[in-house]
Each structure stands twice: as C-alpha cells, then as structure tokens.
Structure 1
C-alpha cells in the first residue's frame, strides 16, 4: 500500500473521530516500511493530542527522523499537540524554531498560553505579533475570560473593535468573539458590563449578524443574570434554531428572576420539542422548584432523573433537592437523603441543610448531621462556624464553645470576612 493511500486512510479516520484507528494505521505503515511524509503527520499529531504526552514526543521524534520538521503545518500542529497535553514549554520550543512569524503559528502558540493559564505569556506574544487577525483577537479575549479576568477581556474587545490591520481595515468579530465577550459581561455584576453587552447586541442587530445558537444563548444568559428578563425572552423568541443549551439558559433565567412556574412550563415545552434534557437542564429546573416551593414536582423530577433522562444525580442536583426540602421545612427527609448519598456531601449541600435547620430551629438534627459529616471533611470551616452560631443563638454556650475548640484543634484557619463598597 503506497504512502498516498495510507495518508488518505489516516486522515479519513481522524476526521471521523476514530483517532485510535489513525494511530493503528500509522504503526502498520511503519511496520510495512512505507515511509511517512509531510502529509502523514498533521492528522496523526492531532489524533495523538488526546493520548498521554509521551505519544506526542515519540511522534515528534519520527518527524525529526523523517526530515520534515521544517514543514510549517507540522510545526504548527506540534505546537497544538503539546498545548493540549499541557506541555507549554515544549510547545514554545517548537514555536521559536519556526523561521517565519506566521500568524497561524502565532495563534496556535497564543492559544497554548491561554488554555494553560499563562496569560502573561499570551499577552507578551500578542503585543509582539506584527499582524493580528480575528482569530488572534478572539483567542486573547477568550484567554482572559477563561482565566477570570473578565474586565480585561472586555477592554481587549473594545481595542479590537478600534483596531485596523495592515490593509487599514477594521477587524470584524466573529461568533466566537461575541460569545467570549458576552460571557465576560455575564460574569460581572455591574451596570457597565450590562451596557457593554447591550452594545454588542446592538452591533449584532445593526450589522445583521446571524443570531446563531451560541451567540443567542450567550445573550439570554447575560440578560437573565442581569435581571433583564424581557430582553432574554425577546432573544429566545427571535432565534430560528435552538439547542439544549439555549433552553437551559432560558429556563435558568426564568428561575432566577422569580418566574418559577414559567420555568417549569418552559421545561415541558422543551420536552415537547423532542429535546433531551441534560444535567444542566435538571439543575435549572430543580432550582426553580426550590425557589417556587414546588416540592412534589421537584422530588418527582429528582427521583426520575436516571430513569427518564439517563442522568445520574451529581453534587449539584443533591444540593438543589436539599435546598428544596430545607426551604419547605422537610428537614428529616433532607437528612435521610444526605445520609444515603453515594458520595460525601460538599460545602454547598451541608450549607443548604444547616441553613434550613437554623431557619426552622432544628438545632439537634443539624448538629447530628453536621458533626457526622464534618468529622470526615474537617476543611469546611464555614459549616463549623454555622453550627456554632446555631447553638449560640439558642444560648447553648458550652456546645458553641466546643465547636469553636474543634476548629482550633483541627488546625482550620477561619477566613477573615471583609466589607466592600462599590462606587459608581
């Protein structure tokens, strides 16, 4: 079988997602002494990115052995492969050996820095790039967003909108750019962030940009988090195509803005549309049930998750159902669920339960469950403090003091509280 045919089969299997078959074909190719060439390695390296790092290194050795390392496509693919294996140092070594400052290779290295949390390295490279296209700008904006620097991401987007490239044309954002900046806006609780999101929405409308699934979903998420429910509904209604993520955003927006019944109705409409709810959908619906005091509906949904939707409950679902029962005062039932959880409850579950015990005055039950769980998870300082406060409120000073003593003996450091004033 000639090299050309092997290359075609390797590429076809890679495109089909059959990475294991691609790699098997490559080993078969070597064993049959068919020489790989520069067209063999890009799909093979991409396939290797999902496997342990040593495979990428071994393929790198093959690239050197076959004398094709100077190929720009192979060099760029090596940067991507090492990046996906969290080997940024290796990616950088390959990158600096690329003779031409190609924008594609720069974008690959930029993405390597961003996805591995090296924002300083990404910004340094970005500032030194002689040419930047929409991919460059989107990568750096998304990189800051991924690493929690939302305000910086928004500022960079503003710079992008004013930037002109070498042919004196403005760089136009694409769908990925819009999603990144809208997500950054949604993660900032400020009027300025909302105004920025509205400006982005206005740009989309004025330039007749197609309101695709991801952009539309990002807008719904932004408006829902900012309390602009009418805007969220308007975007949802205008979308021609909707996926599960879109319905999730709308259900969550309704639930978080006091429209719990409408949220449950939206869930029913989603099922009528033939879409399969996923784990995120069920968190949103259980949250709506908790906030709206729909105890029966919430419990039925929780108990039928695995059967009806093939979704195994995770910590978030347990947190929601404990919150649901706690708000309604069904504390014994909540305690039974905690006792029978298939894994140890985290701070959110314990916090919801102890908070409910405090509100409803069930100190003994709270202390019984709380102490039992905290012995296994001593790092939950906040829950110890909550238990101590519950006893202090009932003037059970000895028990409150004992809990504080437990914190000290366990070597737990209480995180100091602070106040913050936001000036606008």
Structure 2
C-alpha cells in the first residue's frame, strides 16, 4: 500500500501522542520513497519538492530523545534533504555543547543565522553551558531586537548569576512582559539571594508596568516569590507570603497547583498548619509535590501520625510516591518513633515503588534508629551503606550516641566523619563534649587541640527577636 507524503506528514505530527509508532512511521516514509532528495525524484509542485525536509523536521520535532534527533538529522543530510530554519531549534534545545557548536556551524554555513528562533536557541545553548560572552555575542547578531530575544538574554544573565547585569538590562528594555520580571525574581532565588528575590518582587508590584495593568504576575511569578519566602524562614517573609496569597485571592486569579503547593510549603515551614490545611482542602487538583508538602509540614510539627495517614490517603488516590515523599514519611516515622513502620517502608522502597534509597533516606533511617536508642542497628546501617556517609548521616548518629551514652560506638563512627573531605568544627566539638561528659578529659582536650591546629572554626549560632 502506498501513502502520500501529506498523509505521512500528518502522522509524524501526531508522534508526540503516539511515541511507540515513531519507528513504524519512519519506516513507512523510507519505503514510500519520501526521503529522496527533491532533485532526484519527479515532483508536481513546490510543496512536493520540500516534502523530504518537512517530513524530517516533523520527525525531529516529535522525537523526545536527543540521540535519535541527531541521528535523524545526519540521515537527513545523507539523503540530501536540505535543513531549514525549522530544523535547528528543536535540535539545539536538547543538545550538549559539542553538538550544539557543530549545529551552530551548520546554521552559519546554510545562511540561516539571521533566523530569530535559531538565534534564541543558540543563545540558550551557550547560557545553560555558562558561556555568557558567547551568549551575548549571539544576542548582538539579532537583526531586530524583540522581547523574546531580550528575555532570552535576561535569562542568560540570571542563569549565570549576573543579577546586577540582569537588573540593569531589564531597566533598559524598551518593553517588558511578565516573563521578564519573573526571570529576575526567579534568578535571585536560583542564586540563593531570597531576600533580593522578595524585594525585587515588591519593586515589580510598584512599577508602572503592573500599576498601569501592562503586566500581571502569573503562576510562575507567585510560585517563585513564595518559594523565596519559605527559604528565608522569618516573620517578614511570612508576611510577604500572606500578601501574595491575598493578592491572588482579591484579584480572583487562578492559583494553579504550583502556587497552592508553594503556599502549603510556606505555611507548613512557618508552623501555620491550619493555613496549610485550608489551602490543601480547597485544592481541586493535587499533584505528588502537593502531597509531599503537606506530609512534610505535618511531620515537622509534631503531627507524625497524621503525616502517615496522609501518605496512605495519597496512595489511595492512585498517586505514586516520589523519592521526596519517602523522605518526608521516613522523617515522620523518626520523629514519631514509628520504628517498625519506618524500617518496613525503607526495606520495601525498591520493591513497592521502584525507588533506590539515597543518602537522605539512609539519613532518615539512621535518625529513626538513633532516636529510638537502637544505636548498634544504626551503626550497622552506616557500615553497610553503598556509598560513603555524609556529614548529616554521621551527625545524626553522633547525636544519638551522645543521648544514649554510646561513647565507644560514637568514637568509631566519628573517626569516619573526621576523615571526610571537609570536616566541620561542630563535629569536633560534639566528639569533644561526648568525651568530657564521660570525664575522658585527655581525649576531649586532644580533640579541642586538633580544632585549633587545623584552623577550623565552628560557626556560632544566633537568635533573632522580632519586635511588633
């Protein structure tokens, strides 16, 4: 049976819906002779001449695996089907740097470097590979500056941590949209400057772009600033988060799953569990991340049994737990002293959910056993871990040894901690204090001396008082 090029083109455009049929469609295209170069085959119209290129482009767009995209592109060149401006953007979007630079050369060779879609994809390629000067040179190649090009450059500054340059660039832009503002708000957060993220959001809300109604914060904007509020973890940040929540409600905006989840995370982290529960209850759609936020909030504020119940409800709703879900549930088990339930969950992670235990899961189990006084079992877990324990795992274990008086076991495991690449002052102090409590003054003194000789300083703790 013979198929027309147009019919096969329609099929390829449906491949994102039907990925398993990609190979069959590719075979049909080859066997029907539609991948022959237009100069080698009779054609009745201009569209027939370009059919090979259109078919290849559709296949490249539809395929989700980068290696197959590149294979199709090389096959396209071998069959003398000329790539055009629609061929390169999907290739560049997923390419590692070496392949990307080769594709850059191809666009230059074929005279396509003036196409704004190709230039934007190239700019993003260099930006995500932390080659900001290259990205800037591509930006200067744009024949006509538009907001899409400016936003791409703005994103490049943010990704690479040049936030001062990003703010300057934003202020010079002749036109800004919500993506422009959100890029900078999120850029500060990505670079760990959560306070600046919140302040810049405030600047956005008082700017004429928003005041005159030219720009309205969207779901991504609100989710980003709420995440910054949660990471700051102070009263000012909580008030800011409440104001964002109020703005969304007053303006009758659609919250969206990401914003609602961010609110649950913020309220849960700040201990406002009633607010978190209200948001959770009214949600129409709940993703796995939403359940994670609620379970974690309950686990961290003394409501461990409710966290475990929430986990069971999540499974009843047909949702598959993620690695983060299991960290939250194991944390609840540790804090609520549910030793049997925690160990059963840990041992069945792979079998029940296909999740391989990570360092965080091992840390939770060590904490679980340590809190319950099972320090020998916790030590055995550490000895048999498939990777070297990090400071958090060993720190949880040392804390348990100190509480339960297992000084010798603490010394044994503590030595492993001191052999880590970056020993922390707190580790030495904890070991020294454990020895001092058992009146082992010589060992305590030796450890204190090691701190001084190694030039290690313990970061002092501090408290904050909020005046109202």
Which stretch shifts more, 310-319 or 114-123?
Answer: 114-123
Cα 1:381/1:10, change in 2 over 3 Å: farther
Q: Which of the residues 255, 275, 278 maps onto 2:299?
A: 255
Corresponding residue for residue 10 of structure 1: 57
Rg (Cα) greater in structure: 2
CA distance in 2 between partners of 1:46 and 1:342 (Å):
36
1:68 aligns with 2:112: yes
Q: Residue 416 and residue 150 in structure 1: after superposition, are their counterparts in 2 closer, same or farther (change >3 A)?
A: closer
Q: Which runs of 5+ in 2 are unaligned?
A: 1-34, 39-49
Asked if the contact 1:45/1:78 (under 8 Å) is kept, the reply is yes
Which shows bigger deviation, 238-247 or 161-170? Answer: 161-170
Show the counterpart of 2:142. Answer: 98
Question: Match of 1:88?
Answer: 132
Report whether the alignment pairs 1:236 with 2:315.
no
Task: Say whether residues 1:413 and 2:456 are aligned partners.
Answer: yes
For the residue of structure 1 that corresponds to 2:208, the secondary structure is: coil
- The equivalent position to 2:186 in structure 1, one of 142, 146, 156, is 142
Contact kept, 8 Å, 2:205 with 2:211, in 1: the verdict is no
Q: Aligned pair in 2 of structure 1 residues 174, 378: CA closer, same or farther (>3 Å)?
A: closer
Q: 2: CA distance between counterparts of 1:20 and 1:63?
A: 19
Partner Cα separation in structure 2 for residue 237 and residue 416 of structure 1: 41
Note if 1:362 corresponds to 2:409.
no
Judging changes above 3 Å, is the alpha-carbon distance between structure 1 residues 9 and 412 closer, same or farther for their aligned structure 2 residues? farther
1:19 aligns with 2:62: no
Unaligned runs of 5+ in 1: none
Structure 1 length-normalised TM: 0.93
Q: 1:122 aligns with which of 158, 161, 166?
A: 166
Distance in 1, Cα, partners of 2:242 & 2:419? 49
CA contact (8 A) 1:225 1:253 kept: yes
Whether the aligned pair in 1 keeps the contact of 2:425 and 2:456 (CA below 8 Å) is yes
1:46 aligns with 2:90: no
CA contact (8 A) 1:131 1:166 kept: no
Q: Deviations over 1:286-306 (max 9, x none)?
A: 111111111111111111111
Which among 431, 436, 439 is matched to residue 392 of structure 1?
436
Q: Is the 8 A contact 1:160 1:171 kept in 2?
A: no
- CA–CA distance in structure 1, aligned partners of residues 449 and 255 of structure 2: 58
State the match for 1:350 in structure 2. 394
Deviating more after overlay: 65-74 vs 217-226: 65-74
Which stretch of structure 1 is more off in the superposition, 377-386 or 391-400? 377-386
Instruction: Tell me the TM-score normalised to structure 2 length.
Output: 0.85
Alignment of 1:179-190 (within 5 A): 179-190=223-234
Cα RMSD for the two superposed structures: 2.1
Which stretch of the first structure deviates more once superposed, 107-116 or 275-284? Answer: 107-116
166-175 vs 286-295, which deviates more? 166-175
Partner of 2:27: none
1:88-121 superposed Cα distances (whole Å, 9 cap, x missing partner): 2211110122243311011111112212222223
Q: Show the counterpart of 2:321.
A: 277
Q: Specify whether residues 95 and 377 from structure 1 end up closer, same or farther in structure 2 by C-alpha distance, changes over 3 A only.
A: closer
Residue 343 of structure 2 corresponds to residue 299 of structure 1: yes
* 2:92–2:125 contact (8 Å) kept in structure 1: yes
- Measure the CA separation in 2 of the matches of 1:323 and 1:131: 53
* Candidates 59, 70, 75, aligned match of 1:28: 75
Deviation per CA, 1:217-237, whole angstroms, max 9, x where unpaired? 111101101111011111111
The Cα offsets for residues 227-250 of structure 1, whole Å up to 9 and x where unpaired, read as: 110111111111111111110001
For residues 147-168 of structure 1, the C-alpha deviation after alignment (integer angstroms, 9 at most, x for no partner) is 1111211122122223334994
Q: What SS does the aligned partner of 1:169 have?
A: coil
Secondary structure of the residue aligned to 1:276 is coil
Matching residue within 256, 263, 266 for 2:310: 266
SS at match of 2:232: coil
Measure, in 2, the Cα distance between the counterparts of 1:422 and 1:281: 33
Query: In 2, Cα distance between the equivalents of 1:162 and 1:14?
Result: 41
Offset at residue 8 of structure 1 (A): 4.2
**In the alignment, what sits opposite 2:355?**
311
CA contact (8 A) 1:211 1:239 kept: no
Number of residue pairs the alignment of both structures matches: 420
* 3-state SS of 2:80 partner: coil
The offset of 1:392, in angstroms, is 1.4
CA distance in 2, matches of 1:285, 1:113: 38
**Partner-residue secondary structure (3-state), 2:348:** helix
Which residue in the other structure is 2:203 paired with?
Answer: 159
Deviation at 1:399, TM superposition (A): 1.2
Q: Is residue 383 from structure 1 mapped to residue 442 from structure 2 by the alignment?
A: no
